[in-house]
Structure 1
Amino acid sequence: MSAHETTFPPDFTFGVATAAYQVEGGIENDWAEWERAGKLKDPHQRCDRAVDHWNRYEEDYGLALDVGATAFRVSLEWARIEPERGRVDGAVLEAYRERLLRMKARGLRPVVTLHHFTHPTWFHRDTPWHRPESVEAFRAYARVCAPLFKGLDALVISLNEPMVLLLGGYLQGLIPPGIADGPKTMAALENMVRAHVAAREELLAVLGRVELGISQNMLAFAPDRWWHPMDRALVRLGAQAYNHAFHEALVSGRLRVNMPGIGSTRVDVPGARDSCEFIGMNYYTRAHLRFIPRPPFIDFKYRDTRGRGLTDIGWELWPEGFGQILGELGRYGLPVWVTENGVDDRDGQRRPSYLHTHLQQVLAARARGLDVRGYLYWSLLDNFEWLEGWGPRFGLYHVDFETLERRPTPACRYFKEIATTRRLVPPEAVAQPSAAR
């Protein structure tokens, strides 16, 4: 493959991504409790009905097909399936099975996440991640979910962005469970690796084989002061702990994390070695790290170093970091799936350029020999963005949050052009309908 390749192979997958709490609506879980406690950036916002994907899933499958997608990433909502500890809602399992079967029947490969940040309301009280009981709780959940995947050829993700959950929920206390405790962070990290292994065992017992991995948020890092040795050291430590430690544990069986001033762990996890079939990565931006001489010893910021302008959520536009991290993933010798990549673009005009520059990096990585199998854009729809609430707009489709009408943005036509022709062309080469938003 040429280093300047502009064509994706016929078996490359273009798809879209969502997550249950952010789109389904009507879910009672730990995030719903967090909102009622006024802990979002806007304490008056609520997810509530979200964008009603629970009832509009057929419509949304159609929207995915309309942009040329052949895969659709969803998550299962643990709080729907097991609203009380030990009580499984069979009707919800049947509903999820029907949705996945319909997805498959319409030509969309299911990409299914077991855990995408949220928990049943009982979880943090009875089996929090920093206690060993969490592993068996997750095992039991995976066991009841396993039959959902029969005959689907699904790509399964055990855990979405475990390091984001741990840093936000266990170190900074900004998201559920709202803990700020270094040793508990390390204990929770170990148990999440064990939970992945437990889920794998349950899925294999039912299915015989499974394509299983995690989706890891991966940041490009840079020293805030290029000349400062401590800033440069933080970049090395941050990249290893944040981007790679979890993946390395699932490949080597050894979890090694060192976060000075916070905690460290060195443990061999039984069953973790070779416990994934692919590497899942989510990429959005780059962070500049600065050493500060007091706990937690690290500060970070997003900087517009090239005059490109920050995204509407305030993140640096840095596709070069996407290419850098894709290159780093070659160390694992496994297929790679881009399970999330997207931009908060509230007027919808910058997203085609974002797609172009980031898909260039995918092609370049493939040209270097990396086995990148697919690219899932985050997200099909504008949705509820966690602490940010209803402000950001990542969707290929603009959603009117009052009427829930879905309308295509200019990126829809551009995404479809690439997904259906397999050729990466500049956005200006794709004509836009005059009525597009």
Structure 2
Amino acid sequence: MYISVCPLWIFCFIITLVSSSSSTVWYEDHISLREINTQENFSFPKEFLFGTASSAYQYEGAYLTDGKTLSNWDVFTSIPEGRLGDVNMEGIDHYNRMINAILKRGMEPFVTLTHYDIPQELELRYKSWLSPQIREDFEHYAEICFRHFGNRVKFWSTFNEPNVQVVLGYRKGTYPPSRCSKIFANCTRGGSDIEPLVAAHNIIRSHLAAVNLYRTKFQEEQRGKIGIVMNTIWFEPVSDSLADRLAAERAQAFYLTWFLDPIVFGRYPREMRDILGENLPEFTKDDLKSSNKGLDFIGINQYTSRYAKDCLHTACEPGQGGSRAEGFVYSNALNDGLPLGEPTGVNWFNVYPQGMEEMLMYATERYRNIPLYVTENGFGENNTGVLLNDHRRVKFMSSYLDALKRAMRKGADVRGYFTWSLLDNFEWIYGYTIRFGMYHVDFNTLERTPRLSASWYKNFIFKNVAQSRDNDA
């Protein structure tokens, strides 16, 4: 969806609401769902949302279609200027049709305002997230979304994975705008010590502005919820030493709580303040006032876990934990030459279901039982290893859902689970070489073929919805 002379940065997570039951699927290498439910005596709440996650840039294409202008990712992948102009009604109409079609089929749209890509015009005009001007533009954009779609959209997320966007775009330089210091990559511009802090600060302030706008002008009438979606990694200390245990805490501070603590508590985490000191930007009084009610929910994107190694008391190379920008922690360490969890064909991604349980409990305990949604969780394979009988994906989903249930039994207020992803799609710097879809996509013909995981997930949802209804009867 696109507005004004710049793209409207909207991305829909489609939450599937199902209404019938189906048979249980069995797998030799994993305990059956029937046995799990019998052993745990567990059922999902009646209002629990199951679904799949997607993003517009990764799914839709539509390059320069219906008023869309260049985004930063359009420029990065090589594929009338102005601000706050007239609304692009072709974009509005497109997403109106999409939202109406979702609702007509008994599903619920769960909408994220921005998922990495932003109008290139803002990058050229004032360096996008490095400028405080972007707060005003983001608030204006959010208001248009709330006004046009809020009567039907009841779940809003301001940002998807801003921590990934900042770390890869401004510290490591592998995502646009490709800014970093030389110690991290061969960037031609940027500074990994300060610019990530500035970009993150402007994102947080933009989030708070959009939330305050929604609460004061729209929420009472539209009766929706608003939150933020974060990428999460569970960090285990690489050893039992106190230094490595503290390093695991710093790893969370310089990745997750960097964004969530200011939104919830009005301040950056202590570990960041101790290391960065005056380099951390300060919030205004209005920002702090907004942070008192900054979230109705937290979206948790959970895929993998890693070992964390101390670099405060052990010499590490810059870019591998040996810098203030990284919190003096190497967050991709090996233990006896091995990573945490089972390796996959994706270099950043290891399977470690326990990390799901740990992450949900960490968020529950730190953020005072703010409701949680698992907004992304899925299994990726290299293009060369694609099979329609994707048993590894089924095993992954089953084991991570088991971990989610364990966390809920311990008290985590998890209200939804959305798998990434419904379809194979464009996976950012990996292009079309990695496949996360429950549906195989032939990128030459665009033919879609369901994999085994699609029928497994459908059966899982039907069974659990039916069980919830039986418990209410």
- Please say whether Structure 1 and Structure 2 have the same fold, judged by a TM-score greater than 0.5: yes
Partner residue in 2 for 1:137: 137
Q: Which stretch shifts more, 332-341 or 265-274?
A: 265-274
In terms of Rg, which structure is larger? Answer: 2
> SS of 1:178's equivalent?
coil
Residue 418 of structure 1, CA deviation: 1.1
Shift of 1:232: 3.7
- 1:65 alignment counterpart: none
| CA offset digits 1:151-208 (Å, max 9, x no partner) | 2242111001011011001111111111122212111111111101111233331443
Distance 1:190 1:3, change over 3 A: farther
Query: Is 1:310 matched up with 2:310?
Result: no
Q: 1:243 to 1:424 in 2, by over 3 A?
A: farther
Residue of structure 2 aligned with 1:19, choices 55, 63, 66: 55
Asked if structure 1 preserves the Cα contact closer than 8 Å seen for 2:169 and 2:176, the reply is yes
The match for 1:339 is 375
Q: What amino acid maps onto 1:223 in structure 2?
A: P
Q: State the match for 1:117 in structure 2.
A: 116
The residue type equivalent to 1:167 in the other structure is V
CA distance in 2, matches of 1:84, 1:6: 54
What per-residue deviation string (whole Å, max 9, x for no partner) do you get for residues 304-362 of structure 1? 95997412213211010110011112122211100000110333221110111000011
| TM-score, normalisation: structure 2 | 0.74
In 1, the alpha carbon distance for the partners of 2:100 and 2:460 equals 27
1:254 matched residue in structure 2: 267
Choose 176-185 or 1-10, whichever is displaced more: 1-10
**Deviation for aligned residue 1:413:** 1.2
- TM superposition shift of 1:91: 1.4
Q: 1:390 aligns with which of 425, 432, 438?
A: 432
**Does the CA contact (< 8 Å) of 2:156 and 2:227 recur in 1?**
yes
Aligned residues of 1:215 and 1:281 also touching (Cα < 8 A): yes
Within 1, Cα distance between the matches of 2:293 and 2:413?
17
> Hey, what does 2:32 align to over in structure 1?
none
Match of 1:295 among 318, 322, 346: 318
Query: For residue 53 of structure 1, what is the aligned residue in structure 2?
Result: none
- State whether residues 147 and 207 of structure 1, in contact with CA within 8 Å, keep that contact through their aligned partners in structure 2: no
**Cα distance in 1 between the residues matched to 2:340 and 2:305:** 14
Deviations 1:118-162, CA, capped at 9 Å, x for gaps: 011111122421211011111111111112333224211100101
Q: Which residue of the partner structure matches residue 222 of structure 1?
A: 236
Deviates more, 1:268-277 or 1:163-172: 268-277
Q: For residues 466 and 396 of structure 2, what CA distance do their matches in structure 1 show?
A: 13
Between the aligned partners of 1:374 and 1:300, the Cα distance in structure 2 is 28
Match of 1:323 in 2: 357
Equivalent positions of 1:35-50 (< 5 A) are 35-36=77-78
Identity between Structure 1 and Structure 2 (%): 29
In structure 2, the CA distance between the partners of 1:423 and 1:194, relative to structure 1 (3 Å rule), is same
Structure 1 residue 165 and structure 2 residue 165: aligned? yes
Deviation for aligned residue 1:230: 4.7
Task: Show CA shifts across 1:231-260 (max 9, x none).
Answer: 443311011231223222222222336184
Determine if the alignment matches structure 1 residue 93 to structure 2 residue 92.
yes
Aligned equivalents of 1:312 and 1:113: distance in 2? 28
CA–CA distance in structure 1, aligned partners of residues 119 and 235 of structure 2: 34
Where does structure 2 lack aligned partners over 5 or more consecutive residues? 1-36, 64-69, 181-190, 323-328, 468-473
Q: Where do residues 140-219 of structure 1 align in structure 2 (5 Å cutoff)?
A: 140-180=140-180, 181=191, 182-204=193-215, 205-208=217-220, 209-219=223-233
Checking the alignment, whether the CA contact within 8 Å between 2:46 and 2:465 is kept in structure 1 is no
Alignment of 1:351 with 2:393, yes or no, is: yes
Matches within 5 A, 1:34-73: 34-36=76-78
Q: CA RMSD in A?
A: 2.7
Range that drifts further, 94-103 or 249-258: 249-258
Q: What is the alpha-carbon distance in structure 2 between the residues aligned to residue 164 and residue 140 of structure 1?
A: 24
Between 230-239 and 405-414, the greater mean CA deviation after superposition: 230-239
Which runs of 5 or more structure 1 residues have no equivalent in the other structure?
37-45, 47-81, 426-437
**Once the 2 structures are TM-superposed, how far is the Cα of residue 379 of structure 1 from its aligned partner?**
0.7
Correspondence 1:403 to 2:402: no
Which amino acid in structure 1 is aligned with residue 98 of structure 2? R
1:52-83 per-residue CA deviation (whole Å, 9 max, x = no partner) reads: xxxxxxxxxxxxxxxxxxxxxxxxxxxxxx98
Asked whether the 8 Å contact 2:306–2:340 carries over to 1, the reply is no
Letter in 2 for 1:295: P
Q: 1:432 maps to which residue?
A: none
Write the distance in 2 (CA, Å) between the matches of 1:83 and 1:215: 30
1:281 equivalent to 2:300? Answer yes
Q: Tell me how far apart the structure 1 counterparts of residues 426 and 397 of structure 2 sit (CA, whole Å).
A: 21
Aligned counterparts of 1:387 and 1:119: Cα–Cα separation in 2: 16
Q: CA deviation at 1:13?
A: 1.1
Aligned residue for 1:407, secondary structure, equals: strand
1:261 is displaced (CA, Å) by 7.4
